[in-house]
Structure 1
Amino acid sequence: MKTLKKNAFIVSCQAEEGEPLFGKETMVKMSIAAQMGGADAIRSLYPDVVKEVKNVVSIPIIGITKNRNLKGAFITTTKKDIDELVQAKADFIALDCTRRERPEPLPELFNYLKSKYPNIGIIADIADIDDVKNIIPLKPDYIATTLSGYTDYSINRPCPDYELIREIIKITDIPVIAEGNLSTPLEARKAILNGAYAVTVGTAITRPQIITQRFKEYLADFQDDELLAVGIDIGGTWTRGVLVDRFGIIKDSDKVRTASTGKEVISNMLSLIKKLKTEETHFLGVASGGRIDFKTGVVGFSTGLIPDWKGVGLADIVEKEFNIRPIVDNDANCASYFQHFITDEDNMLMITVGTGIGGGIINDGRIVRGAKGGGGEIGHIIYPGNTKECSCGKVGCVETILSGRYLKENIYGKEGKEVYKKIREYSKVMAWFIDTLKATLDFDKCYLGGVLPNYGDEFLENIKNSFKQISNEKNADFINYSDLGEFAGARGAALLSLHKGEI
């Protein structure tokens, strides 16, 4: 029996009747192209196609048949199918080994193949771990996860099904071929790292109609009009809104004081959207203080700066009102995203100084959100010796001595030696803060936004000088004010909606 090489990359070149590429000539060319690209084996459908492909490639062929008229199992289900594939010179034959109705018993097919064609390898296509347990006694040469997600009893399996690979290798030494719903090189690599002996990719390579469909679906929300988005930034003091184009350029803007109750905040948010939204606006983004569950658009935690905010389902509320599913993210994340968009820096930190302290982290070009939306909640790092109580309930959070509220109470509009002392103290803490975060995150740029730029360049120089005094790095030029203005968070939220929340 022939064997597949370890860590083999198999390309499934098949088109069923009715598909655009159906026919021997096309599949032969597809198989040649796959071999030229480095494929280690070909999975080929129909005996006549297998025969033609075998004549033009030098790599192993896994042969299959399909009978869509059958109610249950449909991949190579009869002895006749096996005979025809062997006559076509298939090196391996894959059998549907799911627990579904079939025309001939599975043990009979195994016995027939092994006794009559002992040199042909057998691949068992399965859907779940119980299928595997059933076929282990039949001793296939390989087990393939081909049908995970495609049977009524596996329809809710994850895609790709890495978990199934891990389950199989725990109970048998039969090599596993990962197959099914693998769409990217990274997914294929991950399958092997999860224990697969080899990996098969088909649709993502050989079905241009599906590939085209995926691209089209991803672009489908771009309608035949201007690409405009509304972004809302709900902060502890102000709720800001913008209408922007695809480049983040503001077409309209407005702001209102953040209300004293969650109900009023929501009402103001919806009113701002209505005011800014045009008939050509199909994208909405919302930035909010607090810990945001990015997937659901729910406020998971709020310090109380925005009242009655924990548990509010912002995405559902906006979608119900406008029939558009918005992107919802933390306000500092949105501001940092806009900074990244404008300056094209892939490793940076944005510290927003407002009612509290917000942090937006861009690492390798992506927002760091964390497992539950808490990534970037840097304002709640404890500063040594700080005894001030924070609105989050902790004592000593650095935002209690770095926030805009602290600046207003201790520095803004004041003069004299005591003020200069406060500025030096503030600069020292901010420098410590930046140094601590840089040691953790190793960013290239640090931007200070929110109200802090209003305090001028001399204030920034104080922070830089304090950084150089405490850090091993003697160059503090990476620390700068963000000059994107008060609508940076709203603009970032709007752009995130256009970008589907991705970078």
Structure 2
Amino acid sequence: MRTIPKGALVVSCQARADNPLHGPVFMAAMARAAEQGGAGAIRANGPADIAAIRAVTGLPIVGILKHWRDGIPVYITPDFASASAVAAAGADIVAVDATPRERGGETLETLVRRIRDELRKPVFADVSTLEEGVAADAMGVDYIATTLAGYTDETASPRSAGPDFMLVEALARRCRAPVVAEGRFDTPDLAAEALARGAHAVVVGTMITNPREITRRFAAALGPAA
């Protein structure tokens, strides 16, 4: 079973439908480039991208399936059907939204149990608060990630420009499962600091695999062209 190595950089290879790099061919190339650069694992969205990435790398893949539904805030692998599709495509680890928000179906506890028992896959719990992480830990998840800190209604207001190091530290102190730092880690120094604060690994996405957003940051800093 492939697991996330301690101290690993996990590169999130995802591109939305409106991004020129959207699609399995580009995401597989991103994953290969990330591996050559030293990534220890990949995070990817959707069966097509996961299967394409699985074909070109032996790195552990943290798989998700984003499924948006009207009136349902949970969209990251919200149900067992989504988890099954991710596992069948070749993901080694299944990531789920582990917040207590409306899921539109089975409970989080049931989903975690079924992924572990029926799919025989480790569960990667995306949380936004310490309380959510502690609850997920009690359910037996295998990793707890700060992915959603600042991205839920409950945590959006106090969101700072940088990563939530306080949450990383608090989770590392309280939880049995390894803590993965994710969210707004946009420099190597910030990623290294996460490990120093107790993180098992760090996920970086936009600042490695989204040239459009990186370009926007540079362009905004330089101002309008003459």
TM-score (norm 1): 0.43
Say which of 167, 170, 181 aligns to 1:167. 170
Higher RCO (CA-CA < 8 Å; seq separation 6+)? 2
Amino acid at match of 2:199: A
CA displacement, residues 72-92 of structure 1 (integer Å, 9 cap, x when unaligned):
111001111111111111100
Corresponding position of 1:261: none
Tell me if structure 1 keeps the 8 A contact 2:84–2:119. no
Give the 5 Å matches for 1:277-356: none
Amino acid at match of 2:24: K
Corresponding position of 2:114: 112
CA displacement, residues 77-133 of structure 1 (integer Å, 9 cap, x when unaligned):
111111111111110010001122112211111111111022x11100001112113
Amino acid at match of 1:4: I
> Quick check: 1:179 aligned with 2:182?
yes
Relative to structure 1, the CA distance from residue 112 to residue 210 in structure 2 (aligned partners, 3 Å threshold; closer, same or farther) is: same
CA displacement, residues 39-68 of structure 1 (integer Å, 9 cap, x when unaligned):
100001101111111011011111101123
Give the unaligned 5+ runs of structure 1. Answer: 225-503
Q: Which runs of 4+ in 1 moved over 3 A?
A: none
* SS of residue paired to 1:95: strand
Counterpart CA distance in 1 for 2:33 and 2:116 is 32
Corresponding position of 1:5: 5
Corresponding position of 1:67: 67
Counterpart CA distance in 2 for 1:126 and 1:172 is 13
CA shift, 1:12, in A, is 0.3
> Quick check: 1:218 aligned with 2:221?
yes
CA displacement, residues 147-170 of structure 1 (integer Å, 9 cap, x when unaligned):
111111111133211110111122
* SS of residue paired to 1:29: helix
> How many pairs are equivalent?
222
Corresponding position of 1:194: 197
Higher strand residue share? 1
Counterpart CA distance in 1 for 2:16 and 2:141 is 26
Tell me if structure 1 keeps the 8 A contact 2:129–2:149. yes
Tell me if structure 2 keeps the 8 A contact 1:127–1:149. yes
* SS of residue paired to 1:123: strand
Counterpart CA distance in 1 for 2:175 and 2:127 is 14
CA displacement, residues 314-342 of structure 1 (integer Å, 9 cap, x when unaligned):
xxxxxxxxxxxxxxxxxxxxxxxxxxxxx
- Whose radius of gyration is greater, 1 or 2? 1
Amino acid at match of 1:192: L
Corresponding position of 1:88: 89
* SS of residue paired to 2:131: helix
CA displacement, residues 459-486 of structure 1 (integer Å, 9 cap, x when unaligned):
xxxxxxxxxxxxxxxxxxxxxxxxxxxx
Tell me if structure 1 keeps the 8 A contact 2:137–2:176. no
CA shift, 1:223, in A, is 5.8
Corresponding position of 1:482: none
Tell me if structure 2 keeps the 8 A contact 1:2–1:121. no
Counterpart CA distance in 1 for 2:177 and 2:159 is 22
Relative to structure 1, the CA distance from residue 121 to residue 223 in structure 2 (aligned partners, 3 Å threshold; closer, same or farther) is: same
Corresponding position of 1:157: 159
Corresponding position of 2:208: 205
Counterpart CA distance in 2 for 1:170 and 1:223 is 48
Amino acid at match of 1:106: L
> Quick check: 1:35 aligned with 2:35?
yes
Counterpart CA distance in 1 for 2:222 and 2:102 is 40
* SS of residue paired to 1:72: coil
Percent identity, please.
37
Tell me if structure 2 keeps the 8 A contact 1:121–1:141. yes
TM-score (norm 2): 0.94
CA displacement, residues 402-431 of structure 1 (integer Å, 9 cap, x when unaligned):
xxxxxxxxxxxxxxxxxxxxxxxxxxxxxx
Counterpart CA distance in 2 for 1:143 and 1:160 is 15
Corresponding position of 2:103: 102
Tell me if structure 2 keeps the 8 A contact 1:146–1:178. yes
* SS of residue paired to 1:109: helix
